[in-house]
Amino acid sequence: MTPEPNVPLDEESLAGADPAAIHSALFGQLVAGHGQMALMFLGCIENPHTGLKEAPQPEAAKIFIDQLEMIAAKTRGNLDAGEIQLLERTIAVVHHEFVALIDRLNDPDGPRDPG
């Protein structure tokens, strides 16, 4: 049986779910959380606590990007198609945004980050 990738992680829904579905849902949360943290530290999305976009912190974002790459390497051969797609897309998006930020920060003629 293929795990359901979008099993809600509330107690009522999990009561009848099989362990594979639970693990798939937890994996999805882990990947999404790391992706969101990377994007927040890249200045792409708001901090959920403040509701504001903060100054980019590429070093902090890189930690989450590196962890996503480690997860991909360590889980290779153990994920279903939906999990692979989620992980690959998340890594691609955060890589793209990271490179774009570094390019902007290194462009002497472009806008500079004040922070």
In a domain, 39, yes or no: yes
* 8 occurs within a structural domain: no
Measured CA to CA, the distance from residue 44 to residue 30 in angstroms comes to 19
Reported as a single tens digit per residue, the pLDDT across 9-52 is 677 777 778 889 889 999 999 999 999 999 999 999 999 999 99
What range defines the domain where residue 62 resides? 21-106
> What is the rounded CA–CA span in Å between residue 29 and residue 16?
19
Predicted confidence band at 4 (pLDDT cuts at 50, 70, 90)? very low
What does the pLDDT read at residue 115?
47
Residues 21 and 35: their CA atoms lie apart, in Å, by: 21
Measuring CA to CA, how many Å separate 69 from each of 18, 29, 75, 111?
Answer: 27, 16, 10, 30
Average pLDDT (110-115) is 54
1 assigned to some structural domain: no
Residue 68 lies in a domain: yes
Mean pLDDT, the chain, rounded, equals: 88
pTM over 0.85: no
Count of domains forming the chain: 1
